[in-house]
A and B are shown apart, each in its own frame.
Chain A
Amino acid sequence: MSVDEAYREFVELLGEENVSREPAVLDCYAWQPTFNDDPDRWVKRPVAVVLPSSTEEVQEVVRICNRHGLRFKSFSTGWGAWNGPTFDNVVQVDLRRMDRIVEIDAKNMYAVIEPYVNGAQLQAEAMKVGLNTHIIGAGPNCSPLASATSGWGVGHDSIYMSYSARNLLGVEWVLPDGELLRLGTLGSSGEWFNGDGPGPSLRGIMRGSCGALAGLGIFTRCALKLYNWPGPPEMEIDGIMLDAKMEVPENIGYYMCFFPDRSSFSDAMYKLGEAEIAYNALATSFGGYLDILTPRLFRKLEHTGALRSLITETFKFTLAVLLAGNSARELAYQEKVLHAIVREHGGLAMDVTKMEDFFSMLFMSFVRATIPALVFRMGGSFSTALDRNDSLDTQVTWREVIRKIKEGYIAKGQILDDLADNPYFVPYENNTWCHCEVVYQYDPRNPEHREALEPIFLDVTIAAIERCMEPLFTSDPRVRKLISPLAGNFGRYQQAISRGLDPNQAADNTLYSVEADFDFSGIDPERVKRLQGVVEQRRWQ
């Protein structure tokens, strides 16, 4: 392994200004506190950072790493601990310079983008031609390419615009050996309009419910589906977010719906999906809104049982629905149906377009998915508990399960008190299937909070397995080792794919194909026993 020689080659390839080995500069890639359960919050420092600007440069970077026995790990925006190196000899490939929207084919409704285009940019350009892009709940600062090829992909527009993985067409993929693999029509004719075939679809080895998180190479371009946008080509909005002012666009409706109980909420959601009227739909608790809009409020509510009960019980089943009609008549129809569904299920639908300030704040924050990141306000960080996603009913159960787990930790002061019930609940594709994650907030500077992250992670993992669900972080080597035998030994196939595509094991593939054991030494034995028990109960092979 020769880092010095490799570095010289990087400089020759990319120019000095696009390469660095300076420790402080490298630490900018090693600080990864988000979704990092390690109390230290630093990940391994890369041996170098490189910034290629083209597919050819990416290929050569990968080849240099292969030649010199180095590993590489790429990212687009780099938000989240999974972006950081996991080995000692990793070159961080920062794709920031690859930031073009290559084309928008408005007729065939797709955009071809590079890794560093963010959701806000893509949406702004798509809207000019009457189209929109799926933006994940993490926000428009994230890369749609990274989400679709390598990450997860849920957003509160998923009812209309699906899940990132399902929005892919052609993909350009630099394999871990530096060779190029172009999926679908791209590989055959250089066109982008189809990502599957000929014959079997190689999207099958590219990603699953989660992507490979840079463990299978580097994606340099992809075509993403765009969707109809009946709203204005440009949004006129004054003020930044919480102080925003804007007019209600034509043919837009926005409702906050409240349901009296779990079954009426669930039943209504199923009907909403079947009616095919919603453009965005996000169910959360009313407390969830207060949490992000008044983050200090809950610290004051510690001994106010009646008020807590009022917020959590009265407004427990809250659903925000955005309607977007292609005509005034369509909007009128959508509104009529929504009211009928809500009424039938004992609920109440409030017209948010009539609440000027709230609408102004909420509309763009939903359409552009800027609002979820406000979840950082309370404590400075958050994590999330999510399972595999399946029927809507399973997600309603999941919400309750995690709420109870959270209550225990809140009572001990190990996470912040957000009233525990804090779901991000969204249906996919008119409720073909559904998603719920329950957020928990903490102060990363508080050592007690940091120490609680691992036990919470374990509890959530146990809860998922109990519910016959694959936990969110199957990408974690310990979880993968645990879950894989319960789900067809998928880990073995991933390892085979890794060996097949990456003969030198040059990609940083810890989060894709490495398996590891949980360290139970600091964990309460009852919890360990419960985990082992539930694993045995859930074997089907």
Chain B
Amino acid sequence: MAGKKKEGKGALREKLAEVLGAEAVSDDPDLLASYAAGGELPALALRPREASQVVEAVRLANREGLNLVPVSSGPPHHHGGSRPLAGAVMLDLSGMDRIIRLDRRNKVAMIEPGVTFGRLQEAVDPLGLRVLKPLLPRWNKSVIASELEREPITIPKYHWDMNDPLLCTEVVFGSGEVFRTGSAAGPGTLEQQWAEGLAQKNPLGPGQSDLVRLVQGAQGTLGVVTWATVKLELKPRMRRLYFLRESDLGKLIDFSYRVLRPKQTDEHLIVDRWALACMLAETPEEAQSLASRQAPYTLIYALAGYDYFPEERVAYLEEDVGRAAQACGVRPERELPGVPLERVRRALDDPCPEPFWKQRVKGGWREIFFITTLDRVPGMQEVMGEALREHGYPHEEMATYIQPMQMGRNCHLEFDLFYDPGDAEAERKVDELCRAASERLAEAGAFFSRPYGLWAELAYSRCPDTVRALRMVKEMLDPAGVMNRGKLCFQEV
């Protein structure tokens, strides 16, 4: 997909300013560097405040052959989904940060891309609602971005389908067409729909396609979401946290199957000592100390009571879940050694104050994450272990995080490898390890459903029929190839 003749940056800046307003266009070097995350620098950044500006930006990108990279969260960016190629134009939506509508009765929020987890949680708290979120999102992480990326939420029972908790969206496709998904699609304006009692809660359609599912996971290669409705849930009146501390991961997996099936637990995740330490520590020293005192694996789960007889709900669940624990040979505890419960609660409920919780060990880290099933986790660990041994990386310095998804039908499995960011050689080695391990894991059936960076090649080389269909989708939604070039399987460059 050849771009139009490249213009000088100055001329481009003027053109963009003319259409979007001067205040919306920036070439500030620090700002541009923040998007690059150590990689190639974009040429400019656009910072719209209104959806109409987004439409104009995309249409202009089509006319001018630009490479437009949408991003909604604040820096630092880590996964690489919004990492630009040289000369790209960033479309930074973090300034579109209105909470457009909150609906307690229907438990839904309509928000713009710049709304972060912290802000949204603060807004819905008085309504007795909670935001469904991944583990420790960074404080400036966009809720919409997280849900578009299909980051796994920590409460599996609310994860009915892979696109949860995202509901309806307004999206500007790469073609410049504006589209609304789900019951927001129309007929009617939003105001007319609200007058009729709609709350934009049906994520399906319109018609006989679910274009929102294409936009999710697309890393901004198909379009730009300008607002979305997201599902909220009741904040429990009562919540108790429990910990299963084990060296035998198999027992925790067995327990998970038993309690996830009947939807007994709220928060439910498994972390190893390092991941737990990262979650809870405030300094690297504390992380070391915490890790040394924890069991090899800890399963954290919550039992909750809502508006009606919350104590009774928790009480019977405690009994039922206790029986499941007994059957698996594990013992629920109410505390973690050396950790105030409040800190665990904050880790589950609040965004991460520093950008990434995984940086708490050594400062630098690489992740390998993919989807598998709980019963396949031990096998994946073996594969990972082999890779670690071959590359001389100490097993005990890797963190493991297992997040059951879709009510326990599959899970996000994550390996985090730490290094000192000041040590270039260590970084190189970890990168090498990640590549090698990812290849082996893919061979073993790891499903890189969020194919950032090197995973794209790994993932798409295995599913040629998917690639063929995705390229058809790309042709349909972004025929000029203006959206986030070089990502996924769209080799425009």
Contacts and interface: CB of A to CB of B under 8 A. Distances in A.
Query: A and B touching (C-beta < 8 Å)?
Result: yes
Interface of A: 107-110, 130, 162-163, 165-167, 169, 179-185, 187-189, 191, 193-213, 215, 225, 228, 230, 270-271, 274-276, 326-327, 329-330, 332-333, 336-337, 340-341, 388-394, 397, 429, 432-433, 465, 467-470, 474-475, 480, 483-484, 486-491, 493-494, 496-497, 500-501, 512, 535, 537-541
Contact of B451 (A198, A340, A465, A540): A198
A470 B206 contact: yes
B179 to A, nearest CB: 4
Contacts of B199: 390-391
Interface stretch (B43-51, B312-320, B429-437): B312-320
A214 B316 CA distance: 47
B473 interface: yes
A188 B463 contact: yes
B162 A210 contact: no
A207 B217 CA distance: 17
A182 B462 CA distance: 11
B213 A203 contact: yes
B409 A488 contact: no
B309 A336 contact: yes
A230 B261 CA distance: 10
Contacts of A537: 192
Contacts of A480: 207
13 contacts: A166-B204, A185-B447, A187-B466, A188-B459, A193-B371, A199-B451, A204-B209, A205-B214, A208-B209, A213-B208, A429-B160, A480-B207, A490-B185
B393 interface: no
B412 to A, nearest CB: 11
Nearest to A162: B160
Nearest to B171: A488
- In this complex, the member of A330, A493, A535, A538 whose beta carbon has the largest number of chain B beta carbons within 10 angstroms is A493
Contacts of A182: 463, 465-466
B260 to A, nearest CB: 9
B489 interface: yes
A198 B187 contact: no
A204 B187 contact: no
Nearest to B463: A187
Given A109-B407, A182-B465, A205-B469, A276 B178 contact: no
A188 B447 contact: yes
Given A198-B466, A209-B202, A107 B257 contact: yes
Nearest to A392: B106
Nearest to A467: B196
B302 interface: no
B392 interface: no
A197 B469 contact: no
Given A208-B209, A329-B320, A393-B197, A468 B187 contact: yes
Nearest to B313: A333
A421 B446 CA distance: 52
Nearest to A482: B187
B472 interface: yes
A326 B307 CA distance: 21
Given A182-B465, A188-B459, A208 B308 contact: no
B449 to A, nearest CB: 3
Contacts of A228: 261-263
Contacts of B200: 390
Contacts of B375: 107-108
Contacts of A491: 207
Interface string B186-217: 11111011001111111011111111111111
Interface in B152-183: 160-163, 177-180, 183
B205 A209 contact: yes
A200 B160 contact: no
A198 B449 contact: yes
A110 B177 CA distance: 38
A330 to B, nearest CB: 6
B5 interface: no
Interface string B19-52: 0000000000000000000000000000000000
Which 5 residue pairs spanning A and B have beta carbons closest together?
Answer: A204-B213, A468-B188, A197-B449, A538-B187, A209-B205
A536 B313 CA distance: 51
Nearest to A189: B445
Given A202-B466, A210-B205, A193 B373 contact: yes
Contacts of B476: 493, 496-497, 500
Contacts of A209: 202, 204-208
B57 interface: no
Given A109-B409, A488-B179, A208 B186 contact: no
A169 B263 contact: no
B105 to A, nearest CB: 6
Interface string B437-472: 000000001011111000110011011011011101
Interface string B380-415: 000000000000000000000000001111100000
Given A191-B445, A497-B209, 17 more contacts: A107-B257, A187-B465, A188-B462, A191-B447, A196-B217, A200-B470, A206-B210, A209-B205, A211-B208, A230-B262, A390-B199, A488-B206, A493-B179, A501-B469, A539-B187, A540-B190, A540-B192
A198 B197 CA distance: 36
Contacts of B265: none
A327 B210 contact: no
Given A188-B462, A326-B320, A488-B206, A199 B445 contact: no
A157 to B, nearest CB: 13
A212 B208 contact: yes
A145 B410 CA distance: 20
Interface string B344-378: 00000000000000000000000000011111000
Given A165-B204, A188-B459, A225-B409, A204 B320 contact: no
A158 to B, nearest CB: 11
Contact of B209 (A107, A167, A341, A493): A493
Contact of B178 (A187, A429, A488): A488
Contacts of A340: 308-309
A69 to B, nearest CB: 23
Contacts of A490: 179, 185, 205-207, 209, 211
A336 B210 contact: no
Contacts of A470: 183, 185-187, 205-207
A134 B105 CA distance: 27
Interface string B241-264: 000000000000000010001111
B38 to A, nearest CB: 23
Contacts of A329: 315-316, 319-320
Contacts of B205: 208-210, 388, 470, 474, 490
Contacts of B456: 198-199
B469 A210 contact: no
A77 B204 CA distance: 24
Contact of A193 (B193, B217, B409): B409
B215 A200 contact: yes
Nearest to A150: B208
Contacts of B451: 197-199
Contacts of B465: 179-182, 187
A203 B203 CA distance: 13
Contact of A487 (B186, B371, B455, B469): B186
Given A197-B449, A467-B196, A330 B316 contact: yes
A518 to B, nearest CB: 16
Nearest to A169: B409
B475 interface: yes
A480 B107 CA distance: 31
A207 B209 contact: yes
Contact of A201 (B160, B214, B307, B320): B214
- In this complex, the member of A109, A336, A340, A490 whose beta carbon has the largest number of chain B beta carbons within 10 angstroms is A490
B222 interface: yes
A504 to B, nearest CB: 15
Given A200-B216, A488-B180, A493-B211, A433 B186 contact: no
